[in-house]
Amino acid sequence: MPEELKARTLKVEDLIEYQEGSVVSREIIRKDTGTVTVFAFDKGEGLSEHTAPFDAMVQVIDGKAEIIISGNKNVLEGGDMIIMPASEPHALNALERFKMILTMIRS
C-alpha cells in the first residue's frame, strides 16, 4: 500500500481522476489474500466479458454503470454494490462516467 494512503482519512472520489476515452485504475491494497483497486471509467468505456477465479465486490462511488453477470444486466449508481461470483462471466459498461472500488478476495 502506498505510504501516503496509510492511516489517513481519504475521499475515495479523489483517489483517481477521469481521463477522456479511458479506463483508469489505481491499486490501493495488494496482499496475497486479495486486492482493492479504484477505477474511473469515462462514459462509453468498459471491460469486455471475462471471468475471475475469485469472488469480487464492486462498490460504485459515483456515476452509473451496467454490470452484466452471467447474462443478467444490473444498473448500479453511486452508493450501490454488487458481488460478482468467482468463475461467472461478467462485463462492465459505463452508462455515464463512473468510479468504483473493486475488492477481490482470494480463497
- Name the region of 71 (left: φ>0; alpha: ψ -120 to 50; beta: rest): left
Average pLDDT, the chain: 95
The confidence score (pLDDT) of residue 93 equals 98
CB-based burial of residue 58 (10 Å sphere; 0-12 exposed, 13-18 middle, 19+ buried)? buried
Helix (H, G, I), strand (E, B) or coil at 16: coil
Question: Looking at the predicted structure, is the pLDDT value of residue 2 above 80?
Answer: no
Cβ atoms of residues 20 and 42 within 8 Å: yes
The confidence score (pLDDT) of residue 10 equals 87
Superfamily of domain 34-107: Jelly Rolls (2.60.120.10)
Taking the domains of the chain in order of start, what are their residue ranges?
34-107
Tens of pLDDT, residue by residue over 84-105, are 999 999 999 999 999 999 999 9
Question: Looking at the predicted structure, is the pLDDT value of residue 27 above 80?
Answer: yes
Question: Looking at the predicted structure, is the pLDDT value of residue 1 above 80?
Answer: no
Cβ atoms of residues 51 and 88 within 8 Å: yes
Tens of pLDDT, residue by residue over 31-65, are 999 999 999 999 999 999 999 999 999 999 999 99
